[in-house]
Copies of this chain bind each other. A is one copy, B any other.
Amino acid sequence: MTSAQYEIIVATRGRDSVELTAQVAAHVRESGVRIGLCHAFVQHTSASLMLCENADPDVRRDLEAFMQRLAPDGDPLFVHQNEGPDDMPAHVRSVLTGVDLTVPIREGRLALGTWQGVYLWEHRSHPHRRRVLVTVQGD
């Protein structure tokens, strides 16, 4: 049984999702694990990780529009506005969509479905440097 850990740094350009599938898959290969689990974790509370449809970019555009309607910037409901109108909506989105993700490894590869991609979702308006830890465990 192996435990291996890797770090991915993502420079985001503000609110948007960034595909990490290839980078995560490369770390799985590097680990040599054939059967097991690959865990990814973003060390922030205003970004998240998601598995999303990877074919039509409109899907991610629509997810963005959905979140903007659900937790609009500058919503008067929110007291916490220290860092601007997108601050608290970013925390809401992060809690709803999650900062960790675990994908099975099968025959030495990430066992994703045909249409699944791994994405970091930046929820702040401005660019940020996001740190993702990838931990691989298995045989």
Give which listed residue, B82, B95, B101, B131, contacts A52 with CB less than 8 A: B95
Contact call B97/A100, Cβ cutoff below 8 A: no
Residues on B with beta carbons closer than 8 Å to the beta carbon of A99: 51, 116
Q: A3-B35, A39-B104, A59-B80 are in contact. List 11 more A-B contacts (CB 8 A).
A: A37-B37, A42-B113, A44-B113, A44-B115, A45-B51, A45-B53, A45-B113, A51-B94, A61-B80, A65-B78, A104-B133
Listed in ascending order, the chain A residues whose CB lies under 8 Å from chain B are 1, 3-5, 35-37, 39, 41-46, 50-53, 56, 58-59, 61-63, 65-66, 69-71, 77-80, 82, 88, 91-92, 94-104, 106, 111-116, 131, 133, 135, 137-139
